[in-house]
Structure 1
Amino acid sequence: MPSNVPTAFTDLLAGCTRSAVHLEMRDSYAVDYEKGPFAEWRAGYRHHPDDRASWWRPWLDLVQETVNRGVIMRRARIVSEPVSEYTRFLYDGTFTNEAAGEQVRWLPRRRASGIALPGNDFWLFDDQVIRWNHFAGDGSSLGGEVWDETPDVAKLCADAFEEVWARAVPHSQYEIH
């Protein structure tokens, strides 16, 4: 979609002035079972709250910088229960997102019935610019796509996110099943 809106995620977040919301609707994303953070987690590694230097950088630094500028960052995850192994992995590391200033909630999929949801995960910046996240069936990323000239679709995303957020459980209260 032609526009002067940046397509790089970091630039979209840098241009955000009020809110950045993220809706995740998959039970698993591309995972390397042999190496990387998921493999380390499967082997028993857990981030320690006092060892902030070991947390996912530079993402958490970007979150903290964004929140410090006054932008409200919220993430909602729609999850099947019992949760997948990957969702357990996300859950165990979510305290780092919250420590950086992001608010996170979890919505059991059975409680999402009746919500008009877009077909893809997305980020919505200042209720106007959408960054769709596209994935293959195996969870591997197919990249993102930015839409900024579709106010009706931005409203669909905003409404869907707010409905999910209203029904979802804050991370500190969500019990994994």
Structure 2
Amino acid sequence: MLTGEEFGRLFETFGTSAFRLETLAAYDVEAERKEFEGFLRGEPIPRDWAEDNPWVRSMTRQGKSVARVHVVRSPLSAYLRFEFAAYPGNIAAGESIGIIDLARGEVPGLPDHDFWLFDDARVLRMHYTDSGAFLGAEPLPDNRLAEYRRYRDIALAHAVSFAEYQHD
């Protein structure tokens, strides 16, 4: 399993595209804890998160594509409301974000776990604790690539844009 710096390096070294499928209603991210607690108290999220996410921008300024589909079930958890409040900054920085709300209908063929697909050539299954803390990213063998490309394609085909989801 990849963790820490080793996992983080993937975002510096991928060539052209990174796709993420997110499936959890809450993530326990230590680096976000202070901001999340502030959000719960009614404080705004950090300005750079809301306006132009620097982490996403570090990839898209190099011409790289960053995309995600988040599978949710409304009503949204407090964490998802927090994450969605930051999505406009990710979108401004060039990330494509789609939403699948399972309360509006099931989507057959999607996995029940998160993954990253880099350059259509490397897939990592994400592992979390029950509370959503990151345990590590499991590199999957090449013979699983077609399966995860299908998952990505299903997710993209059924997702609505974040903007469209917000206006529904």
TM-score (normalised: structure 2): 0.83
Instruction: Give 1 or 2: higher helix fraction.
Output: 2
Q: Secondary structure at the match of 1:75?
A: strand
Classify 1:37/1:176 alpha carbon distance in 2 versus 1 (closer, same or farther; 3 Å).
Answer: farther
Percent of pairs identical after alignment?
Answer: 26
**RMSD of aligned Cα (Å):** 2.5
Q: Is the 8 A contact 2:107 2:158 kept in 1?
A: no
- Contact 1:134–1:143 (CA under 8 A) maintained in structure 2: yes
**Which ranges of 4 or more aligned residues in structure 1 deviate by more than 4 Å?**
none
Question: Aligned partners of 2:84 and 2:92: how far apart in 1?
Answer: 14
Change beyond 3 A, Cα 1:116–1:42 = closer
Q: Secondary structure at the match of 2:154?
A: helix
- SS of the equivalent of 1:106 reads strand
| SS at structure 2 position matched to 1:76 | strand
Structure 2 counterpart of 1:159: 150
Number of aligned residues: 161
Could you list the runs of 5+ residues in structure 2 that have no partner in the other structure?
none
- The match for 1:170 among 146, 161, 164 is 161
Tell me, yes or no, if structure 1 residue 113 matches structure 2 residue 100: no
1:4 maps to: none
Q: 2-side partners of 1:88 and 1:21: how far apart? A: 21
Q: Indicate the residue corresponding to 1:133 in structure 2.
A: 126
The amino acid across from 2:90 in the alignment is: N
Describe how 1:52-91 pairs up with structure 2 within 5 A: 52=48, 55=49, 60-91=53-84
Counterpart-to-counterpart distance in 1, 2:56 and 2:110: 28
